[in-house]
Structure 1
Amino acid sequence: MYGSTTEDILTGLSIHNRGWKSIICTPDQPAFLGCTPTGGPASMTQQKRWATGLLEVLLSKNCPIFGTVFAHLQFRQCLAYLWIFTWGLRSIPETCYAALPAYSIITNTHIFPKGQELAYYIPIALFVTTNMYNISQYIESGLSIRAWWNNQKMGRITTMSAWLFGVFGIVLKLSGISETVFEVTKKDQSSSTEKGTEEEEAGRFTFDKSPMFVPPTTVLLLHLTALASALFGLQPPAHDGVGSGRLEVAGSVCLVLCLWPFLKGLFGSGKYGIPLSTIFKSAGLTLIWHWPP
C-alpha cells in the first residue's frame, strides 16, 4: 500500500502533511503494549528493515522536504523527520570513524592532539561532558546507568551492522539490482514456563551466520590487533616523528568495550558464539590493513 517497509512512520508523516498536530498522550495504564524481537539476529533484521524503509521514504515523493514546501508540514516537524530518515546514513561515517583509532595505532600516526598541545584536552572535555549529560538525562527519566551503557553498546553495534546493510539494500534497489523485501522478525511472547530461561539468558547477545555481523567483528579484530601492537611495541616508526598516543589507545579501548558482546562471542559456543565463517571473513578483512604497500 505504501511502497515502504516503515509504514508506521509514513502514516504519521502523511497525517502531519495534512496539517494535523501531535500531542503527547501517556495514560497511567499503557494504551498499547508490544513485544520486541528476541536475540541478536532478529533485532538486527528489524533494525535493517527500519533503516531501509526510512531511506525509501526519504528518497521518494513522500520526502518531508516536499511536505514542508507543498503541504502543511511544519519546518520543525520536517527537521525531526529528516533526523529519523537519515539514521541509516550515519552508518558509513561512523563505521569509518570507529576504525580510525585502530588504523592510527597500527600505522603509528595520530588523529588526536598530543599531550603537549592545549587542544589535547578538547576531545577529553567533549567526551566527558557529552556522556555526563546523556547519563543525567537517563537518570532524570527514571532509567539506570546500566540502561545508558546498554544503549551505547547497541547503538554502536546496530550502526555498524544493520544500518550499514540497510544502506546497501537501498543502493541495490535504486540501481535496479534487487527489491526490498519485508523481512518478518520473530517476536515471541514467552509463557510462564519460559520465564526462568529468559532470566538466565537476559543480556546475552546471540549470533547467526548473517553477513551483518561481519563489520562489527572486523572492527573488533582491528582494535584487538592495534592494542596488541601498541602493547608489544610492534608499531612502525612514526613518519613525522609523532606517532599515536594515549588518546588513540583510549579510543580503541572504548570501541572494544562497546563491542563487548562480540568479544564474548569470539569465545562463545552455539548461538552465543560468533560462527567460524564470520570470524574467518572478518580476519581476512583485518589482514588487508596489514598488507604491505
Structure 2
Amino acid sequence: MEKSLPMNDCKAMKTERAINRMHSFIHGAALAALFYYRITTITTIARSSSRILLLPHLLIFTAELTLSFMWLLSQASLWNPVARTVYPERLPADEYLPSLDVFICTADPAKEPSLGVMNTVISALALDYPPTKLHLYLSDDGGSPVTLRALQLARSFAKLWIPFCRKYMVKNRCPQAYFLGEEIGGDSDSDDHFFIDKKAIEEAYEDFKICLGKIVAEADVGASRDHSPSIEVMRDDEEMPLVVYVAREKRPSHPHNFKAGALNVLLRVSGMMSNSPYILSLDCDMYCNDPASARQAMCFHLDPKLSQNLALVQFPQKFHNIRHNHDIYDAAMRFIWKKWDGLNGLRGPVLSGSGFYIKRQALYGTRKLQPNVDRDQLNEYYGSSKEFIKSINRNYKLNFPSTESMLKEVQLLASCSYDKGTKWGKEARYRYFSVVEDYFTGFNLHIEGWITVYFAPSRPCFLGSSPISLGETLVQNMRWFVGLSQVALSKYSPFVYGDMRMSVLQRMVYIQLACYGIYFLPDYILALVPQLCLLAGVPLYPQVSSPFFAVFVFVFVSSQLKHAQEVLASGDSLRTWVNEQRVSVMKSLTSYSFAAANAILEKMGLSKASFVPTSKVTDDEVAKLYQMGKYDFQAPPIFMVILCTVYMLNLASLVVGLVRVLVNGKMNEMVMQAFLPLFGVVLHYPLMEGMVLRKDAGRVSPSVSLLSAVISSLVSAYAALAH
C-alpha cells in the first residue's frame, strides 16, 4: 500500500489565481480605454495646425504600448499558479535510488575565494544520499593549482565532517554557515558527546582554513586562459563520494563558450566515469543548505507519471547575505521565483542557472536521433570519442580512468577542440549561442517537448551570495540582459523559433524574458518627455475634468496595487515594494539600455559579448553600508551620471514647471504631468541623499554630481526656453 502512494502532490493556488485573473480583465479594460484616448488625441493633433506637438504624444504612446505589451506577456505566468509538495519518505530504499553527479563550476580564485568554493564542495559531498551513488565534479576554468590543492584539502576535511553531520543529523552541512549559525544538531541536546565532537570538528575546520590560507598566500592566485587539460580523480574510501577535479583545455585561439563550455566538458568527463542519470548543477557560491534536496528532487524524477518527460527540477536561489525586507538592490529576485510558481501550472519554469537536478538524457538530445542512426551521425552529434558514444547508452558499464588509455580518452573529452565540427552546444547539451546558457538551454528543452518542475520548500535548499553594491548589481544585470537580448535579436527568438509543442502561454513567458531589456525604452521616455513638456508648458495627459483622467489614474494605481499585493503575498513588506520599484528603474536606465546597445552592436559585428564572473569578495565598507540600508553609489561613472542627471532633471521640472503652471493657471491640465516627476523624486530620494547629504565612502562622487548638474541644467533651460 505504501508503494502506491504518490511521492509528490500539486495543488492550485486558487486565491492567487482568482486575484490574478480578475485584475487581468479589469486592468486590460482600462488599458483599452487609455488607448482609445491616445489614438483619438493623436489623430486630432495630426489634423490640426499644431503638428509639432505630435512627437511627444507619439513618444508617450510608444511607451504606453511597450509597457502594455510587456504587461500582457506577464499574464501568462500569473494565469495558473500552483504549489508542489513532496513525500521523500515514500522513495524506494537507498539501494534502488539512481546515482547522482554534482557539477560545480569556478573560474577565477581571485574573484571566487577558494574558502567559499570549498564550503560549497563540502556541503554537496554531505548531501543526504548514498555516498557510493554520489559523485562530485569541480570545473576549474582558471586552471589554478590553488583550486586543485584546495579541493584535496576539502576532501580530507569532509572525511571528518560528513560522519559528524550524519551522526547528529545536522541540517546545514556547509561548515562555514554551520559554525556561524545557531543550529546545533538533531538529538544533540541529550547527547553527552556532542559538544566534545563539535569542538573537535570545529578545530579541524579551523586547521583546514589555516592550511587553505597558506596555500592561497604562497601561490599565484589567478586564472589562466592558456593551459592544457588536467583531470585528477580522488577516490580512496568507499564511504566517501567520488571527487574529480577538471580543468578543461583553454587556448586563446579557441572559443571557450563561457560556462556552457565548462558544463559540457563536465558532462562528457562524467559520462566516462560515473555516468549518473541525474545531475545537480551548482554555482561555486551556492552551498547546500538542506541535505534533503536530492531526495526531494527524486520525488519528481522517479514519479512514473512525470519521469518520462521530466527534464529537470528547479529549486529557487536564495541568498544568505540579504536582509529580509531590507533588500535595497532587489538582489533576491523575488518576482522571478514568484513567476516560477505560475509556470508550474504550465510546462514548468525556465532553467535558472544553479540549484537544479537535470536528467542526463535530456541534455544529450537523444530524442532527436533516429532509431537507426549511423556512426557518422553519432560522431557529428557527440564527437569522435567512441567510448563516450557508448556511454550514452543507459546500460553503459561504469569506467573509472585507472589506465593510461582511459586517462588519454578523458583528456581528449576535455580538450578545447573536441566540440569543433560537432553539434555540441548547438542542437543539444548546454547551448553556446548566448552567454545566458541557462535560459537558452531551458528554452530548447521545452521546445523539444520536455517539462520542468519548480519546487520551493519552506527551508531553502541552496543559499548563495548576492551582490550588495549598486555597481556589482548593475553590471551583473547588464551581463544577463546582453545574453537575453542576443536571443531576442537572433533566429532563435522565441517569437519565431521552435514548433507548436510549446504552448502559447509558455512561449509568452520566454518572449517576456528575452525582451525584458526593452523596459529601458518606456522608462527613458516617461522619465524625460513629460518632464520636459512640463517645463515647456505642453500638456500630454487629460485634464482633471475629463473622464479619461480617471482612466489614467486607475491604470497607475491598479498596477502599483497589484505589485504591492504580490509582494505582500510573498511574505515581504511594503519596504520591499519600494525597493523593487526604485531598483527596477535604476536597472532599466543603465543595465538594460547598455545591454540592448551591446546586443545590437554585436548583431552588427561591431562588438563581442563577454562573460565576467561576479566578484564574491566582500568589501567590509560596502557590507557595512548595506547593513545600514544605505546605497553604495560607487558604481561605474557612466551609470551614475545617467541616474543623477535624470533625477536632477525631474527635480527641476517639478519645481520650475510647477511654478510656471501655477502662474499661468494651467493646473487643471498639468496635474498628472506634475505627479510623474514628483513620484520619481520621492521614490529615488536616496540619490539626492547620496549627492548632497552623505559624506561616507558610498556617496555619489562630487565629479559625477557636478557633471550631472551641468547636463540637467542645460537640458532644462532649453526646454523652458522652448516655451
TM-score range, shorter chain: 0.7 to 0.9
In the alignment, which residue of structure 1 is the partner of 2:708?
A: 282
Q: 1:110·1:242 contact (CA, 8 Å) conserved in 2?
A: no
Counterpart code for 1:250: F
In the alignment, which residue of structure 2 is the partner of 1:59?
A: 489
Counterpart code for 1:139: L
In the alignment, which residue of structure 2 is the partner of 1:143?
A: 572
Deviations 1:64-100 (A, max 9, x none): 234433x743332211000001111120222112213
In the alignment, which residue of structure 2 is the partner of 1:74?
A: 503
In the alignment, which residue of structure 2 is the partner of 1:212?
A: 639
Q: Which moved more, 1:9-18 or 1:59-68?
A: 59-68
2:652 is the counterpart of 1:225: yes
2:563 is the counterpart of 1:134: yes
SS in 2 for 1:22: strand
> How far apart, in 2, do the equivalents of 1:285 and 1:249 lie?
21
> How far apart, in 2, do the equivalents of 1:285 and 1:82 lie?
36
1:152-171 equivalent positions in 2, closer than 5 A? 152-171=581-600
1:176-187 equivalent positions in 2, closer than 5 A? 176-187=605-616
User: Which one of 671, 695, 701 corresponds to residue 246 of structure 1?
Assistant: 671
SS in 2 for 1:163: helix
Q: 2:650·2:677 contact (CA, 8 Å) conserved in 1?
A: yes
State the Cα distance separating 1:44 from its structure 2 match: 0.3
Q: 2:477·2:592 contact (CA, 8 Å) conserved in 1?
A: yes
> How far apart, in 2, do the equivalents of 1:161 and 1:285 lie?
17
Q: 1:138·1:148 contact (CA, 8 Å) conserved in 2?
A: yes
Q: 2:631·2:698 contact (CA, 8 Å) conserved in 1?
A: yes
User: Which one of 681, 684, 688 corresponds to residue 263 of structure 1?
Assistant: 688
Residue 178 to residue 194, structure 1, CA distance change in 2 (3 Å): closer
User: Which one of 15, 25, 43 corresponds to residue 455 of structure 2?
Assistant: 25
Residue 117 to residue 232, structure 1, CA distance change in 2 (3 Å): closer
Counterpart code for 1:214: V
Pick the structure with greater CA Rg: 2
Q: Which moved more, 1:127-136 or 1:146-155?
A: 127-136
Gaps of 5+ in 1: none
> How far apart, in 2, do the equivalents of 1:244 and 1:271 lie?
44
State the Cα distance separating 1:28 from its structure 2 match: 3.7
Deviations 1:245-287 (A, max 9, x none): 2211111110112322222221234542222333344334321
Residue 172 to residue 139, structure 1, CA distance change in 2 (3 Å): same
In angstroms, what is the RMSD of aligned CA positions?
Answer: 2.8
Residue 205 to residue 111, structure 1, CA distance change in 2 (3 Å): farther
Counterpart code for 1:105: L
Counterpart code for 2:604: S
Structure with the bigger percentage of strand: 2
In the alignment, which residue of structure 2 is the partner of 1:4?
A: 434
Residue 159 to residue 195, structure 1, CA distance change in 2 (3 Å): closer
Residue 29 to residue 77, structure 1, CA distance change in 2 (3 Å): same
Q: 1:35·1:188 contact (CA, 8 Å) conserved in 2?
A: no
> How far apart, in 1, do the equivalents of 2:659 and 2:667 lie?
18
Q: 1:56·1:170 contact (CA, 8 Å) conserved in 2?
A: yes
In the alignment, which residue of structure 1 is the partner of 2:356?
A: none
2:516 is the counterpart of 1:87: yes
In the alignment, which residue of structure 2 is the partner of 1:172?
A: 601
Percentage of matched positions with identical amino acids:
22
Deviations 1:18-77 (A, max 9, x none): 2111222123432322211120000000111111110111223432234433x7433322
> How far apart, in 2, do the equivalents of 1:271 and 1:53 lie?
32
Report which structure shows greater RCO (CA 8 Å, sep ≥6).
Answer: 1
State the Cα distance separating 1:152 from its structure 2 match: 0.6
> How far apart, in 2, do the equivalents of 1:194 and 1:251 lie?
35
Q: 2:478·2:592 contact (CA, 8 Å) conserved in 1?
A: yes
Gaps of 5+ in 2: 1-256, 258-431
In the alignment, which residue of structure 2 is the partner of 1:109?
A: 538
Residue 61 to residue 195, structure 1, CA distance change in 2 (3 Å): closer
Q: 1:205·1:261 contact (CA, 8 Å) conserved in 2?
A: no
SS in 2 for 1:272: coil
In the alignment, which residue of structure 2 is the partner of 1:122?
A: 551
Q: 2:661·2:670 contact (CA, 8 Å) conserved in 1?
A: no
Q: Which moved more, 1:243-252 or 1:37-46?
A: 243-252
Residue 254 to residue 32, structure 1, CA distance change in 2 (3 Å): same
- The number of residue pairs the alignment matches comes to 288
Residue 242 to residue 204, structure 1, CA distance change in 2 (3 Å): closer
SS in 1 for 2:691: helix
In the alignment, which residue of structure 2 is the partner of 1:38?
A: 468
**TM-score between the two structures when normalised by the length of structure 2:** 0.37
Structure with the bigger percentage of helix: 1
Counterpart code for 2:484: L
Q: Which moved more, 1:92-101 or 1:217-226?
A: 92-101
Q: 1:209·1:278 contact (CA, 8 Å) conserved in 2?
A: no
Q: 1:37·1:43 contact (CA, 8 Å) conserved in 2?
A: yes
SS in 2 for 1:5: coil
Residue 197 to residue 216, structure 1, CA distance change in 2 (3 Å): closer
Q: 1:110·1:243 contact (CA, 8 Å) conserved in 2?
A: no
State the Cα distance separating 1:243 from its structure 2 match: 8.1
Residue 23 to residue 41, structure 1, CA distance change in 2 (3 Å): same
> How far apart, in 2, do the equivalents of 1:222 and 1:92 lie?
18
Deviations 1:120-163 (A, max 9, x none): 22211222222222212221221111111110111111111111
Residue 235 to residue 218, structure 1, CA distance change in 2 (3 Å): farther
State the Cα distance separating 1:207 from its structure 2 match: 2.5
Residue 209 to residue 243, structure 1, CA distance change in 2 (3 Å): farther
Q: 2:543·2:549 contact (CA, 8 Å) conserved in 1?
A: yes
Residue 212 to residue 204, structure 1, CA distance change in 2 (3 Å): closer
Residue 273 to residue 234, structure 1, CA distance change in 2 (3 Å): farther
Q: Which moved more, 1:155-164 or 1:268-277?
A: 268-277
> How far apart, in 2, do the equivalents of 1:73 and 1:228 lie?
52
